[in-house]
Amino acid sequence: MIDFINVSKTYPNGTHALYGITLSIDKGEFVFIVGASGAGKSTFLKLIMHEETPTSGKIVINDTDVTKLRRSKVPYMRRHMGIVFQDFRLIDKMNVFDNVAFAMRAVGKPSAVIKKRVPYVLELVGLKDKMKNRPSELSGGEQQRVSLARALVNNPEIIIADEPTGNVDPEMSHEIIELLNEINATGTTVIVVTHEHDLVREFDRRVVVLDHGKIKSDTKDLFVKDDYTDDYGDDSGEEENTPDYPDNAYNHPLFTDRMKIYSDTKVSDFINSITRDQSLAFLDGWNEKQDHRQKIYISYDSTNKNCEAGNISMVEFGAAKIERRR
């Protein structure tokens, strides 16, 4: 759906924002883009929205090379996108209904459709009872939900959220990402730029880490989505992150004490000590009996360039999934 092919971006002032980015985002994916300030996150989004054009390389969205797109065609391309901004960008002289309806009027939707669609979307984000309020009468979290409703109202294929939780409290941050998660479950592609470590860890989604304009890591090749911690930067002060296996998993005869001490980024001796059939039989049998929090996952060691799909000696055990709060 979205393909960056060896994309680089240098601004006129000489700032090198991105270097040789090659990345694919599939239809229906939910992707976190993370990294320190100046890593290239905002430039990445601007290139998708065609607010900027690459210095070199190619960007393909829905089979269209947007690097060659005429400026007159850009508004039509953006109709397939919904944008959520950190600073909300609501019009205070308009009430909530009109702020959301504005996006529909801008693309020529008839009034009858607007009157039906806007209340529906506001109900989705929990603000149907605030339709007549002005933005200044809402909390920061409520304003962000209006912004999200506006992004949703034209039923876009892609939602792009630039630091959507930057101006709201932690509880509301979770609710905003949960809403995006529910939207994604309907098939909408969601791309979220954020600097909030805890939110990214909490939601089991693909994480792309940018560092000085380059992709430092991408969990797309892993079944376990929490293996980005070291790349993203963990401020906890802990020296080592050990796998978070369910306690009763160690009681299984194929688990050994050695399993506890291997990190998620090393190939466990445990795998090499048993046959391939034993490994797969154990995993299948174990997972059938556990709920989603206790399932054990394996992922290919992305640091090993000789690793090939199906090579059981090159796999690693991943952490159990963490249950999302509701």
Q: Give me the tens of pLDDT residue by residue for the chain, a chain 326 residues long.
A: 999 999 999 999 999 999 999 999 999 999 999 998 889 999 999 999 999 999 999 999 999 999 988 888 998 898 899 999 888 889 999 999 999 999 999 999 999 999 999 999 999 899 999 999 999 999 988 999 999 999 999 999 999 999 888 878 888 888 889 999 999 999 999 999 998 888 888 888 999 999 999 999 998 855 444 445 545 444 333 333 434 434 333 333 343 333 332 333 333 444 445 455 555 565 566 556 555 444 544 443 333 334 333 333 333 344 443 444 44
Q: Say whether both 280 and 224 belong to one domain.
A: no
Q: Say whether both 209 and 252 belong to one domain.
A: no
Query: Rounded to two decimals, what is the model's pTM?
Result: 0.68
Domain count, the chain: 2
Residue 266 lies in domain:
247-318
User: 98-127: buried (b, 16+ CB within 10 Å) or exposed (e) per residue?
Assistant: bbbbbbbeeeebeeeebeebbeebbebbeb
Which of 210, 233, 256 is a domain's end point? 233
Q: Say whether both 224 and 263 belong to one domain.
A: no
| Residue 130 maps to a domain | no
| Residue 63 maps to a domain | yes
| Residue 174 maps to a domain | no
| Residue 164 maps to a domain | no
| Residue 220 maps to a domain | yes
Q: Say whether both 29 and 66 belong to one domain.
A: yes
| DSSP reduced 3-state for 325 | coil
Kindly give the interhelix angle for 111-124 and 96-105, rounded to the nearest 10 degrees: 130
| DSSP reduced 3-state for 198 | helix
| Residue 135 maps to a domain | no
| Residue 323 maps to a domain | no
